[in-house]
Amino acid sequence: MINHNEQEVAVDGLPTKGDKSMLPTTISSILELSELEWMQGSLDTRVTGVSIDTRTLQAGDLFVAFAGEKVDGHQYLDQARHLGASGAIVTNPEQVRQSPVAWSDFPILVTANPIHAIRQLAIRERNQFQGPVFAVTGSNGKTTTKEMMFAAYSPSVTCLATRGNLNNELGLPLTILQRTDTHGAMVLEMGMRARGQISDLCEIARPTAGMITNIGHSHLETLGSQQNIALAKGELLEHLSDRYAALIKEDPWLWKLGQRGGAKILWCSLQDGSAHAYFQNIEQHPRYIRGTVEILGHVSDFYLPSPGLHNAQNALLVLAIGVSEGYSLDSMVEGLKTYSAQEGRLHIIETKRGQTILDDCYNASPLSMKASLDVLVQVAGNRPKVAILGDMFELGDYAVTGHKEVGDYAVALGVQVMSVGSLAKYISGQYRVSGKPVVHFDSVEGMLHDLPNLIPDEATVLVKASRGMHLETIVRALVEQR
C-alpha cells in the first residue's frame, strides 16, 4: 500500500528514493530540538533522514505522520516501520496505543505541531552548513530561474535545489533536510501567499544571496495591491543585509525595493550598459538565445537553449549572483547550456501532426501570459500561431482588466486565440471588439470535444492558464492526435 499522507500544506515533487540526508543524529538529540514528547522506543536509535510519505521513505528516516482531511498518516506507521523507518513523529498517541500492531520497539515521538518539528530540524541542519545558500522568489519565473541556477552552478559546485514546488513552510525545510555531504551549495525557491511568509522562510534558510525575478499581479486576491506584493517579496532583501541580491533594473517595483537599503543590489538589464550585469548584444531565435554578457567587468559569450527575453533576464540574474559568489562566468555560461525547460514551463513538444506545442500550462498571470505570447510569435515564425488560453486565478479586482489586457496584447500580435473558462472569456472578448474571429469554450471538456478540428497542421500552439484549469489535458490531447 502507498501512503499519500496528506497534510494541510500541499507539496509536490517530493524527493525520490536514493537520497540520503546529512542528518545523522539520534532520537534523544531530536527531543532536545522541538516541542516533542517521548512516548516509546530507544532514545539511542540513529536517525538519518526525515520523510512525510512512505513513497519516499528510506531506511533510517524519521516518519512524520500528518493527519490530513482525506488520508491519515497514522494509518501507515506499520508500513513505515517495515520500510526501515527509525521512528515516527505523531500527533495522535491514542491512535497508536489502540493499534492492534505491536510497536513497543519502534520509537514514537508526540507533537501537536509536526510542521514546527520539521522546521526545527531544518534550522539545525542549515546551521551546520557552511556553503552559500541562494534564495529565489518573484511573482513569475521562480522555478525556471531555480532550474537555471542549478544548471549554471553545477560545473562549480554540487547543488541541492528545491524540487517540484517544495517552496513553502513545509517544502523548504524538507528540501534542506535532503542535504548530503556532497552538497556545496543550496538553491532554494521561496513562495508566498501573504506578508511575512518570505521572512519566515528566510528565518529557516538564512540565505547568503538571492534574487527577485519580478513583481507581477499574482496574489492580488490576497494581498490587494502590487505594492503589497512588492513588500512581501522584498522581505528577502531585509534578510540579506550587506549581502548581494540581483534585481531587474527595468522593473519599477524592484527599483523601488532596491532603494530601501539592506542588501547590496546587483542591477541587471538586457541592454543598459550602466547596470552591473547586462547584454552587450542579444539575438533571439526560435529555440535559443545568444549574445555577449558582461557582469562586473567579466565578459563571456552567452547561449541559452530556451527562447524568450524573459528567460534571458532570468539567466542574467543567475549569472550576476554567481559572479558575486566567486563562480567563473565562463563556467556558468557552459552550465546554462545544459538547461532544459520542465513540463508545463514553456516546454516545447513536436507532435505527429507536425504541430509545435509550447506547454506552459503550469501557471499564469498577465505578465507571464504576455511573455509567453511573445515566445509563441518568435517560435512560430511564418507558421500559424494559436494560443489556447485559460483563466488566470488570484488576481482579485484586477481579474477582468488583466484578462482584457492579455486579449489586447494577443490581438496586436496577430495570434489566433482559443479561450477556455469563465474569466478567459474576457480575453476572447477583446477579439470580438476588434472584429477578429475567436473561439471560446466554457469548459476544458467542451474544448477537448472539438479540439481535433480546430488547429491546423504545422501550427505552433501555446497552451497556458493557471494551474487549476488543468490545461495539461489539452496538451496531452494535442500530443496524442494522429
pTM: 0.90
CB 101 within 8 A of CB 126: no
Q: What is the pLDDT of residue 21?
A: 46
* 184-203 pLDDT, tens digit each: 999 999 999 999 999 999 99
CA 42/CA 21 separation, integer angstroms: 21
Structural class in CATH, domain 25-112: alpha beta
Give pLDDT < 70 ranges for the chain: 1-23, 34, 100, 102, 482
Where in the chain is CATH 3.40.1190.10?
Answer: 129-336
Q: What is the pLDDT of residue 18?
A: 40
Sign of the alpha-carbon torsion through 225, 169, 176, 79: negative
Residues whose CB is less than 8 angstroms from the CB of residue 102 and which lie 6 or more positions away in sequence, other chains included: none
* 294-316 pLDDT, tens digit each: 999 999 999 999 999 999 999 99
Q: What is the pLDDT of residue 206?
A: 98
CATH homologous superfamily for the domain 129-336: Mur-like, catalytic domain (3.40.1190.10)
What residue type is assigned to position 263 of the chain? A
Q: What is the pLDDT of residue 330?
A: 98
Where in the chain is CATH 3.90.190.20?
Answer: 347-480
Strands (E), 29-180: 37-40, 46-47, 49-51, 61-64, 87-90, 108-110, 133-137, 159-161
CATH of the domain spanning 347-480 = 3.90.190.20
Q: What is the pLDDT of residue 451?
A: 87
Going by their DSSP bridges, the two strands 108-110 and 37-40 should be labelled as: antiparallel
Q: Is 393 left (phi over 0), alpha (psi -120 to 50) or beta?
A: beta
